[in-house]
Structure 1
């Protein structure tokens, strides 16, 4: 079978985070209903000397893989914090609590920010979220308000997702799977390969991966905490009356890959209309569901440009 590819990817991801000055840390935080929750995160040690920036991952690979190409350039200008959401990586919800919704994930991140050294409650945080992490980023920005959360970047995240959208996704996946959980948490190489084809625009990379390596990816990425993550999908409130999308007071940047097959491009325009006037939409050509991975240089440039423009916006307070 040859040498495993996954340890190499893990090494490269961790090395990027360490090169950015981030270290692995864990916070134990109280729950509202009693008990504690654990949040694992990466951040520089000590109090911030730069404006804080929160990177919120989506489903799929661990946060270190999803943000590997962002942490070094972003850390030159920001105090970067990269948490594992509840039920992912080293983070766990309160044992007695129901599976966390997007609002519960956002509340956990708000509690983490309040607990970090030097991040007093008057410190404004820039938030960047991708896919499911975009749901959480929106919920956090809305709940915390512009006094706590500054500019918001939401990448390839359909805040208006419906049951009909889920059915359409299953049809694009071949029409053989019973639920989106079967697609997003695959148990076999064939389904995992199809998920990768839907996620990435450059399919030739996926086509070159042998079945044994796809099998390793399934074991590493989708077996860990599988039941918890399936329950997490059931707890998603996007598309229900609990998750009404209204305009944010903050400046918002929407990023979307023009070949996204998880959340197709037409949803980007619908989301933009719902979020109001303070929204800028950037469409990435020849890119799928994860532009921060497929076109990282442009992703980073567009985010930096947006954040610089936001500093000059009358809609924003002082950043730090």
Structure 2
């Protein structure tokens, strides 16, 4: 459990992170580190008091700050309906591993072990960008555990040849890594131009440098390896299909994973997939169009639980006890 202390140094980024910690705690979640016993430790926000009558929802983040920053705007939509779990993927936030694997398959394996350690048997999974790669692998590895999958701007169906054939705005993996893992204010500005349809302008360099210092300096080499592992020898023909109902959400102006990959993903999954393309939004559609993003997620996730769950009443207990006595 991480204490909710104010940051010691004057930092806007650290202050926002502190605010998110308070927000997640007030939403009924607690911060937990789970040691998986193989050199792998995962930090996760978990329900303080999981309710057996609620379904489970797992939220997986992409590259960027940490899980709180990507789901802070959306958490309130789901905590009343679901037992919500929000982990930091390996080498983000407080999650790390001494193992050498860097694939999304290993990330998924670790997440499955995490959820089982918390007693979760069934769940729906949401993955944003890189988190979508992991979510897809969770559904592949443990289909009996995953009920529904929502993938946001996740280029799961990309191929290694796409880089050579010019599908992406960057020319190679090193350039992609330098943008996705910004170490200077100029690179962070470039990432924002790629990520947002309407990026913020006029942000002072000291603000950007502060964000990089707090959020972008840990596990840089490990994250570069994660990026390389995504694309290396990747072929669509080798990608297993998932059978769960799947929602694919994409920003129409995505410059990191072009919307063509959204159509490709829908086609690959087949009749069980629905594609929603949000206009005037880029790769960070969850941040740029939060209301539309949440609306589509709620519609998809709550359809399978159309009646809002409610706790058992004394009548339910009386009925159960009476039936048990009659049948015994």
Which TM-score applies when normalising by structure 2?
A: 0.83
CA shift for structure 1 position 9 = 2.0
Q: Look up the match of 2:74.
A: 70
Aligned residues: 296
Aligned residue runs from structure 1 range 1-320, under 5 A: 4-30=11-37, 35-49=38-52, 50-93=54-97, 95=98, 97-116=99-118, 118-119=119-120, 123-145=121-143, 147-166=144-163, 172=169, 178-203=174-199, 205=200, 207-236=201-230, 240-241=234-235, 244-310=238-304
Distance 1:57 1:294 in 2: 15
CA shift for structure 1 position 232 = 2.1
Point out where structure 1 has 5 or more consecutive residues left out of the alignment: 313-320
Aligned in 2, Cα 1:267/1:242: closer, same or farther, shift over 3 Å? closer
Moved more, 220-229 or 255-264: 220-229
Larger Cα-atom Rg: 2
Per-residue deviation, residues 54-94 of structure 1 (Å, max 9, x unmatched):
0001111111101101112110101100011111111112x
Aligned in 2, Cα 1:187/1:153: closer, same or farther, shift over 3 Å? same
Which TM-score applies when normalising by structure 1?
A: 0.85
Per-residue deviation, residues 142-194 of structure 1 (Å, max 9, x unmatched):
1101x210100000001122335446889736x69943211211221111101
Q: Is the 8 A contact 1:99 1:231 kept in 2?
A: no
CA shift for structure 1 position 135 = 0.4
Aligned in 2, Cα 1:9/1:167: closer, same or farther, shift over 3 Å? farther
Q: Is the 8 A contact 1:86 1:92 kept in 2?
A: yes
Distance 1:239 1:270 in 2: 18
Q: Is the 8 A contact 2:249 2:275 kept in 1?
A: yes
Distance 2:208 2:163 in 1: 24
SS at match of 1:234: helix
SS at match of 1:179: helix
SS at match of 1:69: coil
Point out where structure 2 has 5 or more consecutive residues left out of the alignment: 1-9, 307-328
Distance 1:166 1:282 in 2: 25
Distance 1:100 1:184 in 2: 16
Q: Is the 8 A contact 1:161 1:239 kept in 2?
A: no
Distance 1:171 1:263 in 2: 7
Q: Is the 8 A contact 1:181 1:230 kept in 2?
A: yes
